[in-house]
Every structure is written in C-alpha cells, then in structure tokens.
A = this chain, B = another copy of it.
Amino acid sequence: MSATIVIGPYSETDLAALNDAFAPTFLASPADLAGLDAATREGATAVAFKGHNAFDGDAMDLLPNLGLIANFGVGYDAIDVKAADARGIKVTNTPDVLNDDVADLAVALLLMRGREMEHATNWARSGQWKEKGEYRLNRKVSGGKAGIIGLGRIGREIANRLVAFKMDIHYFARSEKETPGWTYHADPVSLAKEVDYLIVALVGGPDTANFVSAEVLDALGPRGIIVNISRGSTIDEEALLDALEQDKIYGAALDVYLNEPDINPRFYALDNVVLQPHQGSGTVETRAAMAKLQRDNLVAYHAKEPLLTPVN
C-alpha cells in the first residue's frame, strides 16, 4: 500500500516520475478522496497536489494520517492552510524555480499590449499591411512609470527587468522593502495614480481578493495598462471588465482570471486586452523543475528530513 496519493492533472513525464518514486494512488481531484477504500485513506501520509480544485478540511479529514500536502506551484490558494495547520499537516510549494518564467511573461504582456503586437501581427499576417498600408502608431513603453503591486520574489524579478527598460519603479507592499531606490506606496490608489503600468504580483487567497478595486482602476486612468500574472481573484474582475468596456483604462494584459479556464466571455469581445491561458510557468524547463521540487519535498518528508520549501 502506498503512503502517497497524487491528486491533479500531471504530464506523462511527471506521472512516470511520481510513479517511479512513490508508487502512489492517483486521483483527479480532492473530491475523489471519498471514493477511496478506508485502508488506502488510512495508509496515506502524504499528498502530491496540483490544480485549482479546493483541498479543504473535510478532504483532509478523509486522510487521518496525512502529514504533508506537497503543492505543485508557488500559489497554494486552493489548499486551506489554516485547516492543515489545525490538523498538524505541513504544506510545501514550489517557489523560486518559476520566478523567471512568470516575470518574463509579465514583461512580454506589457510590451505586447503597449506595442499592440497582437493586432499588428494580425495586420501583417492577414495581408492588410500590403492592402491598406502601415499599421497605426502605438505607444512607447520604455521610460514609463511602472507600479508593482506585491514586491515578493516574482515582483522583484519583474521590477529588475523593467529597470532595463529605463522605467521608474514604484511599488505597493505591506511594508517598505529594501530596494535600489524604488518608490514605496502604502496605498494602492496612490500607486495607481502615479504610474502608467500596474503589474499585479500578489499572492492569491482570501486576504488579497479584489485587492485591485474599482477605485484603484479609476486611479490608474485612461492611459493606464494593467498586467496580472498572479491570480484572477486579486482583481475585482467585474470592475476590470467595466473599465475595459468603457475605456476607463487604456488596456489590460492578463494571464489569470476567475473561473479558469471557463473565463468570463466578456473578455473575448474586448480588443484592448491581451489574453494568455495561465501559462506563466508553462515552460518545459520550469515545469520539470517544479515537479522535481515537489517530489524532493515528498522524499524529504518520507525520509523524515527537513522539508525544502514549507509554507506553514
């Protein structure tokens, strides 16, 4: 009987590696735990978890000897960490290995939106360039003012890249951080008023839900572009859709949404947004590094060694 249960959608390579390492039981979602026989549930001491389906206290209670939930991904908002704490269950995630990819995508989203590269691609590819002439002028991105909301590991990687684009860096965080002269704002509305570009790099979960409010979007204003590579929940999405439909802001470039992948169809009709299908960490290299870190946490746990990247 296996001590490990693997939950979620994994690639074939990752499934094979998990199988080799742990000979686990595989499930699609925490909701499937109830269908396991009692012996399997009682024998399980660790879960390898991936995905966005809620892993709550009730699901944890089905595994009375559970000691570890090893999450695939840096964001672990699907896991009720308070419930895990209350049950003496440790949670790990896969930070840092994905910072570069997510920061790359954030900068690319900003440039793609600012320089209208999606529309311009279609202009060239459809032959309109030949038939109708030059694509319309768009806007300069380098030299602008960037506001980072959430100056954690990923926020810093984004800021470091934007410095090379000669941007003036402003940020919001719960407290002022050591930076190379970047400007701290204790209030997200003041930050949004100050900048051309607002990049959201918050953690997800209930504490940051709707953090970017209608008021913040109003403060960003009609020349403002918002980029989100964190979680859809961090922005008041109805307010964002209203602002985009009414051109209250210049545009958005998004990798994350509420209810992925069944996102609000109002997004499809907008031509002032760039939409990406939550692929921030979606490279072969980084997903392999994330999978290895998840497995290494499981190996450490089963060997009673210190966890590599605990979150509680």
Instruction: Give the residues in chain B near A130, CB-CB below 8 Å.
Output: 261-263
Interface 9-mer from A21-29, A101-109, A295-303: A101-109
Cα-based distance from A263 to B125 in the complex (angstroms): 10
Q: Could you give, for residues 142-172 of chain A, a 1 whenever the CB lies within 8 Å of some chain B CB and a 0 otherwise?
A: 1100000000000000001101111000000
**Contacts A100-B143, A139-B284, A140-B101; A121 near B124 (Cβ below 8 A):** no
Instruction: Determine whether the beta carbon of B166 is less than 8 Å from that of A164.
Output: no
Given contacts A108-B115, A108-B117, contact A275 B124 (CB under 8 A): yes
Q: Does A276 contact B (CB under 8 A)?
A: yes
Contacts of A161 in B (CB 8 A): 161, 164-165
Q: Does A134 contact B (CB under 8 A)?
A: yes
CA distance A124 to B282 in the complex (A): 14
Whether A137 lies near B277 (C-beta < 8 A) is: no
State in angstroms the CA–CA spacing of A101 and B120 once bound together: 15
Bound-state Cα–Cα, A142 to B11, Å:
23
Give the docked Cα–Cα distance between A9 and B132 (Å): 13
**Complex contacts, A135 vs chain B, CB 8 Å:** 277, 279, 282
Residues of B within 8 Å of A282, CB to CB, are 134-135, 137-138
Given that A108-B108, A124-B276, A165-B161 are known contacts, is A283 also in contact with B134, CB under 8 Å in the complex? no
Can you list 14 A-B contacts with CB-CB less than 8 angstroms, sorted by A residue number?
A9-B133, A103-B142, A104-B140, A104-B141, A118-B118, A118-B121, A120-B277, A121-B276, A124-B276, A129-B260, A138-B282, A139-B285, A140-B283, A161-B161
